[in-house]
Structure 1
Amino acid sequence: MRKVYFLVTVMVVFILLECTVNKKIHTIALPVVDTTISPVVPPGETIGKMKLEDGFEIKLIAAEPLVSAPVAMNFDEKGRLWVLQMDGYMPDTAGNGEEQPVGKIVLLEDKNNDGVMDAGKLVIDSLVMPRALCLVENGILVAEPPNLWYYKLKIDKSVSKTRVDSKYTDGGNAEHSANGLYRALDNWIYNANSNKRYRKSGNKWLIEKTHWRGQWGISQDNLGRLYFNDNSTNLLGDFFSPGLGATNKNQRDVAGYSESVVPDNRVFPLRPTTGVNRGYIDGVLNDSLRLVNFTAACGPLVYRGGLFGDAYNDNAFVAEPSANLIKRNLLTLQGNITRGREAYEGREFLASVDERFRPVNLYDGPDGALYIVDMYRGIIQHKVYLTPYLKHEIGKRKLDKPLNCGRIYKVYPVGSKLKNVKFPGNPFKLVALLGNSNGYVRDKAQQLLVDGKATQVIPVLKSTIKSSKNTWQLIHSLWTLEGLGAVTRADVLPLLQNSLWPVRMQALAVLPTVINNQNYKTISGALSKVIATNDELAAPYIAFIATRIKAFDTLAALKLQTALAKKYPGNVFVTDAVISGLTDNEYSFKKEISALVPDTNAAIHKRLSRIITAIEDAKYSNDPVLLAKKYPRGAIMYQTICKTCHGDDGNGIASLAPPLNGSEIVNGSKDVLISILLKGLTGPVKVKGHLYQAPEIAGEMPGFADNKEYTDEDLVQVLNYVRRAWTNNGNTIINDNVKYLRDKLRSRQKSFTMDELNQPSSTN
C-alpha cells in the first residue's frame, strides 16, 4: 500500500511540474489527485479539471438538472438539441432497477443565443434503457431494446408510435446491443453492433442486411465511409461505401470492411485509473497506475466541422470514458485505403482528472464545434462483466451515486466566433448549403431536402452535378437526387469519366440504385469500358455492382466478374468484391477461373478455397433446433451473451472474438474450457492454426465466476451447447465439473492466458 501511495505522489508531482514548465501542453495547474475518493465536481468547476490541446477552449453547454445520464444527441434544423438519457443504466453494482422505465428524450434550446442551453422540455419518457435516436422527417427513431420505434411528432410532442423493428437489438447484453442510428451520405441509417440498416420510404420502413460494425458509436468521413470501434480498439472503418458487398451468405467477412484504421491503442490518462475493470491484471495499468491501452473506446467522430483548420481535416476523435479522455488520430486517405496514427505521444487532445468525466459520444455541430456527451457517472461497466475488483473500487470511492448528473460540452479554437448555420425553409437555398465547408451542415441540408420531398429542386441538382466546381456540393447533390428517387443512368454514367476519384467513387456507389431492366445492358457496357482503362480503384466497386446486374442478366454479371478476377487476381479487395456476388456459385467460378489464373497462390484462389471450405463445414453442422431443446438455457445464454462476439454461426466476428466452430479449445479439455468461462481469457489465442490477437480480436473475454445471474447449470448448458453446435463434437460436461473448478479457482482474480492453460497445472 505504501508503494501505491508513493507512486501516486510521484505521479502528481510530475503532473504539476509538467503543467508549470510546459505551458504549450498545459496552461493550468491541476489539483492533486486523491484516488481514495471521487467527489462529484459541480458543473461550473469541471473545466478546471481538464487539460485541453493548446489553441482550443471548451465550454459547458448543458448540465443537470437539464440533462442526466446523456448517451446520444441530435441537432435539429433550428439548432435545438435532442438528448437521449439512459437514466436506468446500472443503478448499483448489481444492476438492480435497470428494467424500470425511467429513460427519456429531452429537447434543449438556447433561448438567449449565448451558446449555452438554458431551456429544456420532456418529449418522450418511460423508456427502458434507450440507447440511440435519429431525427427523420417529422418524427424521431428511438432504440429501446429490443425494439426500434418511430415516434411521429407534432409541435415537439409525440402523436403516434410505430414499431419499426422488434429485433433491433437481438439479445439482452447491454454492452453488445445495437446503437448509433447514424444517417449516412447514402440516405440509409446505419448502426454499431449490428448488421442492419434502415430507411423510411413513404409510410414504410425498409430494413436491409449490411456488414457487422463496431460496438458503441459510429461516424462517417466526407466520402460517406463509416468508422467505428470496439472497446479495446482505437479505430476501425470501411474502405468502401457502406451499402455494398454484404450479399453472399457464405462469406464471413469482406476485405475493405471493418478494417483496422488506427492500430495504436495506447492511451495517456491524466490521473491514476485504478477504477477499470481489470486493473489488477499485469500490464493493464503502468507504474503510475494509469491505463495503458484502450478498454472502453467508443463514440468515434471523424471531424468534418471545418472550423478547426486544415491540420484537423480527416482527423478522428475517439472517447475513452474509463480513462476520462478523448484521443485525436490523424487519418491519411490514399485511394480506397485509409490509415491513421495517434496525433500525440504521451498526451491526449483532452483529458480530465475528474474520474466521473465519462465521454461516451462525440458529434459535429452546426457551428463547427466538436460536441462531447458526458454521461458523468461513476459506474460505466455493465453488471454482466463487472469484476469483484472493480466493485471494490466503486465502493471505496462511492462511485455508485449520484445518478442524476450529465454534461454536454463543445470544443472550438480560441477566439472563434461561433455561429449556428441557419437552415432556410426555401429548398433552393438549401441546395447552396450542400457545398458548405461544415460536413454537418451538408448532411443536414441533404436530409432536409430528402425529408421534405423537395422535388422542385431536382432540375437544379441535376445541373449542379454537371457543372459544379465544388466537389462536396456535387457529391451531396448526387445523393440528394438518389434520396428523392430522381437519379438516373444519364446523371451517373458521365461522372465515371471525372478526373477526380471521389466523384467517380460516388458515381459507382450510387449506380446500383439506378440499375433496372431497361438500362442494365448500357450500364454493363459502360463498366466494361472502365475495366479496360485499368482503373484499379474502381475495380472493387464494379465487382460489387455486378451483383446488382446479376438480378437482370447472369451472363453479363459473370462477364464482369471474370474480367476483374483475371485482371486483378492478387488484389484482395477486388477478389472479395467478386466473391460477394457469387452466392452458391463459388465452386463453378473457381473451376472457371482456374484456367484463366494458373497461379494457385493468387488471392482469388485462396479466398475462394476458404469460402468453399466453410460451405462444406456448414453441411455438417449440428441441428440448432434440437440443441436448443436439449440445452434451452444454454441456447438463450449463447444468443444473449456469446453470439454478439462469436457470431450466430460460431465463426467469430472480426475485431471481437475468434471462432468457436471447429475450435480445438472448445472441443478439447473440459477443464480448460470451463476455466475460460469461469475466469476469462486474455489473448492472443490460436484457433485452427491461426493466431488471433488485437486488433483482429478484442484483448479479453470476461469470465462468469462472479456473475450471480448465471448458475452452474446455466454454465454447463452453454458449455455443452457450444461443444455440440455447428461442426463441434466435444464430450459432455456435467455440473460437478463446473463446481469443482469454481471451488478450485475461487481465489483467482485475473483472466487466464493460453500459455497458462496449456501447462499441466493450468487451473491452479
Structure 2
Amino acid sequence: ARDTDGDLKADRKDLVTDTYGQEFANVEHNANTLLWALDNWIHTSEVDTFLRLKKGQFEVRKTLSRGQWGASQDDAGRIYRNTNQSALFVDIVPTPYFTRNPHLLRTRGSYETLGGEDLNRTWPVRPTRGVNRGYQDGILRPDGTLSSYTAVCAPTVYRGTALPSDLYGSVFVAEPAGNLVSRIVVEDDGTMLRGRKAYEGAEFLASSDERFRPVFLSSAPDGLLYVVDMYHGIIQHKGYITEYLRDQILSRKLESPSGYGRIYRVIHEGSQRDARVPALSKASSAELVETLAHPNGWWRDTAQRILVERDDKSIAGGLKERAEKAPDWRTRLHAMWVLDAMDAIEPSTVIQALEDPLRDVRVSGVRLAERWLGESGTPVQAALLRRLEDQDWAVRRQVAATIGELPADAAPRISAAVTLLERHGDDPITTDAVLSGLNGSEEAVLQRLLQSPEPTRQRSTAAALLAATIIKSGRQDRIEMLLQTGAGERPEWQVEALLAGAEAALLSGPMPGTARRGAGRGGASAAASTAPGGRAGPGSTPAFAKTEPTPPPAPAARAATAAVPLSREPAALLALAAAGGERGGRAEALLARLTWPGKAVKAGDPPAAAALTPEEQKRFEEGRTVYTNLCVACHQEDGQGREKIAPTLIGSGFALGPDGVPVRVLLNGKEGAVGLMPPLGAVLTDEQIASVLTYVRRSWGHEAPPVEPATVATVRKAVTDRTRAWTEAELKGLAQ
C-alpha cells in the first residue's frame, strides 16, 4: 500500500503475494511478522513465504514455516523466533537454504532451540489459574502460578542505547498468560549460542493485574524498550477454550472490560532517552549512509531499508569505504548488505570480509560470496574455499550451506562437501547444511566417503544420512543404485551406515548418529523429526545424544503406508536377510517396505489399497482445502508436525487406525504430551471432517481407507455430551 499524495492515507494497493496467510485459518497459527532483516529479505513467522524488494518490485521466496508469533534479529542478522511454549529459537543457518533439498530427514541449524526447561520456566507474581490447561498436572505450581510458558510471543532483541549497557543484545519475550515479560541473555559457549534467564526465580517485568497482557515488544528509536499491553481478561482464541478456562472466565467476569489497551515505555533511573522524532525518510542518501554508524540498531536498520528502497547508486563509493574501513563491525555489515541489494558490491569487498578478524563479518562475507560462485576459478571462490579451514563454528556452518551454491556436480562442490562431512559429520548442523545443497548429488559424495575402509563417527553418520536422503527422494533408479551399493564384501561400518539410513527413511527408524536399542529400534525417530530442526521444526532431543527409544509406528499405521516400488529385486538386501541374525531381521523389516515384480506376498507386507472412487476422490480434494486452511500451520504441508505444537501425521496410529478414532479427535480434541489438539466439531461439518481425514489417510504414502460422512455423523451423535478432550489412553483403548 502506498501514500502517493502525502496525506498519510494509502491510496494505491498492489498485490505482492496471495500466499501470506489464510482468511479462515486459526488466528493462533496464521501468518504474521514482516521483519526487514540485515540480508534485505522480509522475514515472516507461521508461513513459508519471504519477500524482498528489488529494483522497485517485490520478489517472493519459498522457505519453511517457522515460529509462531513475532521475530527479531540481532546485530549479526540472526533471526530469533519462538513457539507459545518455548521461549527462543535462532536460525544459525538461514532457513531458506533447506528448501533446496526437500528430501532431508531434518533441518538442524534452522530454528535451533536456545534452551530447555530452565529457560522456559516462568515466575509470575500472582496466581495465574486462568490458563487454558490449568487443570493438567504441572501447568500450575501448588501456589497457582504458571510454571512454564504457555503463550510466550514477540521475541525482541534489545539493541537500544538508553537502558543499561548490559541489557544490549538481550532477548525480551512477552508472556501474556503469565502477566509478565522475561529477559533472556544469549551467550556464545564456543560451539553454539545458548540462552539463560537473566534473573534467578524472577522476571524482568511482572504484574499483579490479571488483565495485564503484554503481546508485543519493541526496541525503539529513542533507545528504550516498549511494551504493548492488550489489557484484557481473555486472550485465548475461542476455538481453543477448554471447559476449565471457560469456568475461570465466567467466575471472574474476564470477558470485560474491553478497549483499555496501552503502551508502556520501560526506562531506567539513569536513562538518557533520545527524544528526537525520527525523520529518516526525509534524510539525504549521504546522511543515511552516516546513520549506518548509529549506536542504536533501530536507526541502522531503518537507514539500510530506506537506502535499499531508494537504490541510489551515487553513494556506492561511500558505502564501499564504510564496508571496508568502518571501525564498527556493525557498520561494515550494513554497508555490505546495502551494496549487495544495489548490485554494486565488488569482489574485493567480499574477499576482504572473508578474511575479517571478526566472526560475524566473515559469516556475512560467506553469504555475499554466493553471487560469484556460479563461475569456476574466481578469486571469490578461492577465498570462500579457504574458509573450509575456519575454526569458528558459525563460519563453518555457513560455509557448509554456501558450498551448495557452487556448480552442481563440480569437483569443488563435491570435494568441499566431503571435507566438511569427514571432519564434522557428527555435527548435525554442519551435516544438514551440507546436505541441503546436495539435492541430486548425494551419490557422488557418498561414494567418496565409502572409499575409506576405516570407520569414524563423522563418516558413518554422514553416510547414513546421505543414504536416507537418497531413499527419501523416491527416485526408483537412485534407490536401486543405493541398495546395490550394499552388495559384495563391504567394511562393517559401511553396511551398518547404509542399513541405518534405510531404516530412517523407510521405517521411521532412529535418526542416524543416535543410540540404538534392541534390534535396530529406539533412538530419535527420523519420521517424527524429534531432533531439533527437523523438517517439521525443532524438537527437544539432541540429534547425536543417547535417547530413550521411541516406539515404532503401530502395525495398523505401518500397514496403511504405501510400499516403495522397485523395478527388480534388491539382491544385496535379500542376501543380508537370508544370513539371519540381528541384521537379517532388520533387512527383513526393510524388505517389507519394498515391492518389486514377482515379489511373494508375506504376512505383514503392506496391502495394495483400493483406488478411490470418483466420490472419494472429490472428498480427498475438498479435504486438501480444509487441511490447507486449518491444519497446515501446525501439522505442516508435509504432515510432519511441529515440535511442541503438533505431532507428525506420518504413520500415525491415531490418524490411520480405525476411522472412529481420528473422527473423535477432530470432534472433541485431544490431550497429549505435545499439546492440545483443539476440538473442531463446532467448526467443521460431517462432510468436512470426512474430507480432511480422507486427505490425511491417503497422503504422504498413506493407503488407509477413506472416511465416510455417515461415520462422522454416527460418532458425533455418540459423543454429543462429551465436553473434555480425549486422552491418548482413551483413544488407544478405542483403537483395540
Amino acid at match of 2:177: S
Distance 1:332 1:624 in 2: 55
Alpha-carbon shift at residue 438 of structure 1 (Å): 1.5
Alpha-carbon shift at residue 181 of structure 1 (Å): 0.3
Match of 1:188 among 41, 48, 56: 41
1:723 aligns with 697
2:395 aligns with 538
**Quick check: 1:680 aligned with 2:656?**
no
Residue 697 of structure 2: SS of its match in structure 1? helix
The answer to which of 402-411 and 321-330 deviates more is 402-411
Report the TM-score when normalising by structure 2.
Answer: 0.74
Distance 2:303 2:156 in 1: 20
- CA change 1:661–1:308 in 2 (3 A) is same
Alpha-carbon shift at residue 547 of structure 1 (Å): 2.3
Alpha-carbon shift at residue 662 of structure 1 (Å): 2.0
Alpha-carbon shift at residue 744 of structure 1 (Å): 5.6
1:319 aligns with 174
Alpha-carbon shift at residue 757 of structure 1 (Å): 3.9
Match of 1:162 among 6, 9, 14: 14
- CA change 1:733–1:312 in 2 (3 A) is same
Distance 1:344 1:153 in 2: 50
Gaps of 5+ in 2: 475-505, 507-561, 566-608
Match of 2:85 among 227, 232, 241: 232
Q: Which has the higher helix share?
A: 2
1:637 aligns with 626
- CA change 1:568–1:284 in 2 (3 A) is closer
1:274 aligns with 129
Amino acid at match of 2:249: I
- CA change 1:762–1:352 in 2 (3 A) is farther
**Quick check: 1:482 aligned with 2:340?**
yes
Say if 1:314 and 1:332, in contact at 8 Å, map to a contact too: no
Say if 1:680 and 1:700, in contact at 8 Å, map to a contact too: yes
1:385 aligns with 240
Say if 1:152 and 1:161, in contact at 8 Å, map to a contact too: no
1:464 aligns with 322
**Quick check: 1:178 aligned with 2:35?**
no
2:66 aligns with 213
- CA change 1:513–1:159 in 2 (3 A) is farther
The answer to which of 434-443 and 218-227 deviates more is 434-443
Distance 1:435 1:628 in 2: 60
**Quick check: 1:361 aligned with 2:210?**
no
Amino acid at match of 2:386: K
* CA RMSD, Structure 1 to Structure 2 (Å): 3.0
Say if 1:520 and 1:549, in contact at 8 Å, map to a contact too: no
2:437 aligns with 581
**Quick check: 1:550 aligned with 2:410?**
no
Over the matched positions of the two proteins, sequence identity in percent amounts to: 34
Say if 1:318 and 1:328, in contact at 8 Å, map to a contact too: yes
Residue 100 of structure 2: SS of its match in structure 1? coil
Distance 1:721 1:242 in 2: 28
Match of 2:101 among 242, 248, 252: 248
- CA change 1:615–1:384 in 2 (3 A) is farther
1:565 aligns with 421
Distance 1:610 1:338 in 2: 29
Matches within 5 A, 1:369-408: 369-408=224-263
Deviation per residue, 1:299-335 (Å, 9 max, x gap):
1111111332232133111111122211111111245
The answer to which of 203-212 and 524-533 deviates more is 524-533
Alpha-carbon shift at residue 153 of structure 1 (Å): 6.5
1:41 aligns with none
Residue 125 of structure 2: SS of its match in structure 1? coil
Say if 1:280 and 1:749, in contact at 8 Å, map to a contact too: no
- CA change 1:274–1:455 in 2 (3 A) is same
Q: Which has the higher strand share?
A: 1
Residue 681 of structure 1: SS of its match in structure 2? coil
- CA change 1:596–1:464 in 2 (3 A) is farther
The answer to which of 223-232 and 599-608 deviates more is 599-608
Say if 1:666 and 1:730, in contact at 8 Å, map to a contact too: no
**Quick check: 1:711 aligned with 2:569?**
no
The answer to which of 638-647 and 334-343 deviates more is 334-343
Residue 161 of structure 1: SS of its match in structure 2? coil
- CA change 1:507–1:590 in 2 (3 A) is same
Say if 1:385 and 1:704, in contact at 8 Å, map to a contact too: no
Alpha-carbon shift at residue 747 of structure 1 (Å): 5.6
Residue 12 of structure 2: SS of its match in structure 1? strand
Distance 2:726 2:260 in 1: 37
2:537 aligns with none
Distance 2:145 2:309 in 1: 47
2:312 aligns with 454
Residue 285 of structure 1: SS of its match in structure 2? coil
Distance 1:625 1:237 in 2: 46
Matches within 5 A, 1:391-540: 391-420=246-275, 422=278, 425-515=283-373, 517=375, 521-532=378-389, 537-540=394-397
1:599 aligns with 455
Say if 1:301 and 1:362, in contact at 8 Å, map to a contact too: yes
Distance 2:390 2:337 in 1: 26
1:307 aligns with 162
Residue 217 of structure 2: SS of its match in structure 1? strand
Say if 2:41 and 2:51, in contact at 8 Å, map to a contact too: yes
- CA change 1:683–1:311 in 2 (3 A) is farther
Residue 447 of structure 1: SS of its match in structure 2? helix
The answer to which of 221-230 and 652-661 deviates more is 652-661
Say if 1:327 and 1:349, in contact at 8 Å, map to a contact too: yes
**Quick check: 1:659 aligned with 2:648?**
yes
Alpha-carbon shift at residue 732 of structure 1 (Å): 4.5
- CA change 1:629–1:336 in 2 (3 A) is farther
Deviation per residue, 1:115-154 (Å, 9 max, x gap):
xxxxxxxxxxxxxxxxxxxxxxxxx5xxxxxxxxx66673
Say if 2:56 and 2:309, in contact at 8 Å, map to a contact too: no
The answer to which of 664-673 and 444-453 deviates more is 664-673
Amino acid at match of 2:306: L
Residue 101 of structure 2: SS of its match in structure 1? coil
Amino acid at match of 1:726: W
Deviation per residue, 1:228-258 (Å, 9 max, x gap):
1111211111113455443212226421111
The answer to which of 254-263 and 711-720 deviates more is 711-720
Amino acid at match of 1:410: R
Alpha-carbon shift at residue 211 of structure 1 (Å): 3.2
Gaps of 5+ in 1: 1-139, 141-149, 685-697
Alpha-carbon shift at residue 294 of structure 1 (Å): 1.5
Residue 178 of structure 2: SS of its match in structure 1? coil
Distance 2:364 2:54 in 1: 22
Amino acid at match of 1:387: T
Match of 2:205 among 344, 350, 354: 350
Total equivalences in the alignment: 597
- CA change 1:723–1:633 in 2 (3 A) is same
Alpha-carbon shift at residue 515 of structure 1 (Å): 4.3
Say if 1:547 and 1:557, in contact at 8 Å, map to a contact too: yes
- CA change 1:466–1:336 in 2 (3 A) is farther
2:524 aligns with none
1:100 aligns with none
Say if 1:631 and 1:717, in contact at 8 Å, map to a contact too: yes
Say if 2:97 and 2:436, in contact at 8 Å, map to a contact too: no
Alpha-carbon shift at residue 676 of structure 1 (Å): 3.1
Distance 1:286 1:740 in 2: 41
Amino acid at match of 1:400: E
Residue 631 of structure 1: SS of its match in structure 2? helix
Say if 1:268 and 1:290, in contact at 8 Å, map to a contact too: yes
Distance 1:744 1:272 in 2: 38
Structure with the larger RCO, 1 or 2 (CA within 8 Å, 6+ apart): 1
Alpha-carbon shift at residue 192 of structure 1 (Å): 0.6
Distance 1:363 1:459 in 2: 33
- CA change 1:320–1:464 in 2 (3 A) is same
Report the TM-score when normalising by structure 1.
Answer: 0.72
